[in-house]
Chain A
Amino acid sequence: MKILLMGHPNVGKSVFFNRLTAANIIESNYPGTTVDYTKGYMRLEGKDIEIIDVPGTFSLEPKDKAEEVAVRMLHESKGSKVMCVIDASKVERGLYLALEIIEQGFSVVIALNMWDVAIDKNIDIDAKKLEQILGIPVVPTVGISGEGIFALVSRLKDATPVKVEDIVERTEGIKHKANTPDERWALIEGISKKIVTFGEYQHTLKDAIGDFTVKPATGIPFAIAVLYGFWSIFGSFAGFFTDGFLVKIFDEHWLPWLQAVFPGGLGNWFYALIVDVGHLENGVLAASDNCFESFGALSSGLFVPVGVVLPAIFIFYLMLALLEDIGYMPRLAVLIDTVLHKIGLHGYAIVPSVLALGCNVPAVGATRILETKKQRFMMMTLLAVFIPCGAQIGIMQDVIPGSIGFVMLYLMAGYFIFGYILNKVIPGRIPEILMDVPPYQKPMSRNISRKVWMRTSGFLKVAVPLVIFGSLLVNVLYLAGTIDWLGNILAPMFEGWFGVPRETAGPLVAAFLRKDLAVAQLSAIEMTKYQMISAVVLVSIYFPCIATFAMMLREGGKTFLGSLAVLLVVVFTWGGLLHLLWKLMGVA
C-alpha cells in the first residue's frame, strides 16, 4: 500500500510525514517548504507502507512547478490511499481539494489539522457529521504536538472510494454530479452549513501584532529591527567562537603541531599541499603563523569550514529556523511584495533570497514556489550572482569586517538593478499571487533543533571535502605555475578593468569550488582596502560554486546557459563599475 500526503501549502503535511516515518525533512511555518516529493516508510501491522510527502497544492489544476509535481504524483499513484490534510480553521478551502481527489476515485482519509487553532478562533466543526456526509474517515489532529496522529493511522483501513454524487445526496437530498468548480463550491457551502459553527471571535494581541507586521507603516520598522537583531546576533555569535576560541585552536595549536610532525618541511611540495606553502620574507621562505595564510589542505582546508564558517552557518540557520517557525517569513514576503513586483518577482521570492544567504543550493530548489519560467530563471540568476552564502559572509566578517556593509549594499543594489533590467528584457508573464499568512506560533524546540542539525550537517558534508579539495587544487595550480600564467594572461583585465592585483586569479579558481575559501585566500594577497572590496565583490558575482552550478543545471535545464550569459555581463559591468567608482573617488 502507498499513502500520499496531500493538502494545501502550509497545512502541516511535512510535520505528519516526519511523525509517521520518523524521518527528518524540513518543516516550516510558511508555504512552499516542500517543492519536491519526499518518500518514506511507516511500519503498520507488520508491513512497510510507503508514504509520500507531496508538495502543497490548492487544487488539481496546477499553477506552479511544485503543484505540477503534486498533480503528477497523484496521477502516477492510482490505487494509493490519500491522507488529505486540511487546515481546520479554513475547512471549506481544504474540502475543495479533498472533493477533487475523491472525484478521481482515490480512497481518502481526512486529517482536520490545526484543530487547536480552530478552537482558539472559536470555530466549532462537527467532525463526526462531516465523516457521515463524506463517507470517509475524518480525524481531528494537531500535527505539531502529535495529537490525533495514531487515530488517523488506525482509520486508514476504513478509507474506501466514494462517489461525489452520494456526498451531494447526503448534503442536499438530491443526487447529482458536482464536476465544475461552481458546483463543487456550492456543495462545500452546503456541507459547511451543516458542520461548521462560527462563534464570536475577538482579536487577540497576537492577531493585532500579526496585522501590524504586514502593514508597511508599522511592518517596515519592525522588519528593520528583526533584520538588525538577526545580523547583530550573527556577528556576536560567530565572533565569539571564531575569534574567541577557534582561531587560537587552529593558529596556536593545530598549525604548529602540523608543522612540527608533518614530514618534508617548508619548500617540499607535498608539505606545501597539505600543511603550509609558506611566504617570502626578505627573499627567504618563511613558515606561516596562521591558518588563513598557510593554504594547506589540513590547515586552511579545515580552518575555513570548521573554524570560521561553521559558527556562522550554525547561528544563521538557528535564527532562520526561529523566524520560519514563528511565522515571520510570510509577513516579510507580504511586506516586500510591492518592491519585488517592480523587478518581476513577488513576495515569496524572499524565501529563496533569504535561504541563499545560508546556502545557494537549497535556495535554487526553493525557486519552484515561483509560478512562471521567467520568474524562476530570474530568481535563480539573481541569487547565484548577487547573494553571498552564509559561509562567504562568515569569512567576509573576518577579512573585511569594516566594509562588509558596503559590499552587501553594493550586491543588493545589483540584485534590484539587474532584476529590473531582466524583467524588462525577458519575455513572460508575472502573475499576481494571493498570500496565505499563517498565524504566529510558538516555535517547537524539537523542530528547530532538527532543522538546524539537518542544514548544518548538510553544509559540512558538502563544504569540508570541497574546501580541502579546493585548497589542494589551488596549491597544485600554484606549484605548477598555472595561477601565475593565468594571472599574466588576465592581468590587463584584472588590473585595468577590475582594478585588482593579477594574483586574484588564484582565489577566482578556488571560488568555483568554494567562495568562502576564495575570500580567505584573498586575505593573503597584498592590496589596498578598496582593491580588497572590489576583489570580494568579484568573487561574489563571479561563477556560482560548483554545488550551486549543478543545482542550477538540474532545475533550470537549458535556461542555465541564459543564466551564465547574464552572469558574464554582470561580472564585467558590475565589477568594472566598482573600479570606476573608486577612480571617481580618487582612491583607485
Chain B
Amino acid sequence: MTKRSGLEKNNDLYFIYFLILGLATLAFGITDLIVTITGSEYSIGVLNIPNDGFRGGWGGLIILFAGIFYLSGLKDLYEIHQLAKVVMGSILIWIIAGTDIFAMITESIPGGEDGGWFNTAQGFLGTYAPPYAPAIFLLPFSLVVIFCIHKYYKKI
C-alpha cells in the first residue's frame, strides 16, 4: 500500500490556517499598495505601512502575490504542487521581512553622521522598536510552512 503524506491527516486544519493567513496577507498587500498610491503615511499602534515606492509599492505588490500564492495552494495541501505554492508564498514573505530586518541591522550599528563610530546602546535598541512593517508580523506565521514540509515527508 502506498504511504500517505503526513499532511493528509489534518488537512482541514491546514486549510483553515492558510486561508486565514492568505486573506490577512492579501489584505496587508492591498493596504500597502493603497497607502503607497495615496502617498499618506499610515501608522496604527505597532503597525506601520510603508508609503515609499520601493518598500510600499514593490514590497506591497510582493505581499499581495504572497497572499495569492497562499490562497491558490491551500486546497489539497498534501499534493506536492499545492504545497509548493504555499511554500513560495512563505518565501516571498521571508524575502520582504528578511530585507526589512537586514535594513534594521545595518541601520542600528553605525553611529550616524554626527555620532561616533558606533551607535549608542539606546540608539541600537531603538532601531528595533516598533512600529514594524506588515511583513515582520506575517513572518512568524509564515514559518508554519516548515512544519508542513516536515509533515509532508513524514509518511503515515
Binding site for B on A (CB under 8 A): 202-205, 208-209, 211-212, 218, 221-222, 224-226, 228-229, 231-233, 235-237, 239-240, 243-245, 248, 405
Contacts and interface: CB of A to CB of B under 8 A. Distances in A.
11 contacts: A205-B152, A208-B84, A218-B69, A221-B69, A222-B88, A222-B91, A228-B99, A237-B102, A240-B107, A243-B113, A244-B106
A187 to B, nearest CB: 37
B106 A240 contact: yes
A405 B88 CA distance: 26
Nearest to A249: B117
A244 B65 contact: no
B132 to A, nearest CB: 16
Contacts of A228: 54, 58-59, 62, 95-96, 99
Interface in B101-126: 102-103, 106-107, 109-110, 113, 117
A222 B85 CA distance: 11
B85 A212 contact: yes
Contacts of A203: 80-81
B62 A209 contact: no
Given A205-B84, A208-B81, A233-B99, A225 B106 contact: no
B28 to A, nearest CB: 15
Nearest to A220: B65
Of A204, A208, A209, A225, the most chain B CB neighbours within 10 A belong to A225
Contacts of A240: 106-107, 109-110
Interface string B138-156: 0000000000010010000
A225 B106 CA distance: 21
B109 A221 contact: no
A537 to B, nearest CB: 19
A233 B99 CA distance: 6
A208 B110 contact: no
Nearest to B113: A243
Contacts of B102: 232-233, 236-237
Given A205-B87, A212-B84, A248-B117, A222 B92 contact: yes
A240 B107 CA distance: 7
B71 interface: no
Nearest to A221: B65
A208 B83 contact: yes
A286 B92 CA distance: 51
B33 interface: no
A239 to B, nearest CB: 7
B106 A229 contact: no
A232 B50 CA distance: 14
A231 B58 CA distance: 11
A202 B155 CA distance: 14
Contact of B62 (A202, A221, A239): A221
B61 interface: yes
B131 interface: no
A37 B103 CA distance: 41
B111 to A, nearest CB: 8
Contacts of A245: 110, 117
A212 B96 CA distance: 20
B39 interface: no
A225 B87 contact: no
Q: Which 3 A-B pairs have the closest CB atoms?
A: A244-B110, A208-B84, A221-B65
B98 interface: yes
B84 A209 contact: yes
Contacts of A237: 102, 106
A541 B58 CA distance: 27
Nearest to A234: B99
Contact of A224 (B58, B106, B149): B58
Contacts of B81: 203, 208, 211-212
Given A228-B96, A244-B109, A209 B88 contact: yes
Interface string B61-81: 110010011000000000011
Nearest to A209: B84
A405 B56 CA distance: 14
Contact of A205 (B80, B98, B109): B80
Nearest to A228: B58
A203 B81 CA distance: 9
Interface in B30-68: 53-54, 58-59, 61-62, 65, 68
Contact of B99 (A204, A211, A222, A229): A229
A226 B81 CA distance: 20
Nearest to B79: A208
B91 A225 contact: yes
A62 B102 CA distance: 47
Nearest to A222: B88
Contacts of B80: 202-205, 208
B70 to A, nearest CB: 12
Contact of B106 (A205, A239, A405): A239
A205 B149 contact: yes
B61 to A, nearest CB: 7
Contact of B53 (A211, A232, A405): A405
B110 to A, nearest CB: 3
B112 to A, nearest CB: 8
Given A212-B88, A218-B88, A236-B103, A205 B117 contact: no
Contacts of B87: 205, 209
B53 A229 contact: no
Nearest to A208: B84
B109 A226 contact: no
A243 B110 contact: yes
Contacts of A218: 69, 85, 88
A225 B96 contact: yes
Of B65, B81, B96, B106, the most chain A CB neighbours within 10 A belong to B106
A394 to B, nearest CB: 15
Contacts of A202: 80
Given A208-B84, A225-B62, 11 more contacts: A205-B83, A224-B61, A225-B65, A225-B92, A225-B95, A226-B95, A228-B96, A229-B96, A236-B103, A239-B106, A244-B109
Contacts of B69: 218, 221
A231 B99 CA distance: 9
A103 B54 CA distance: 58
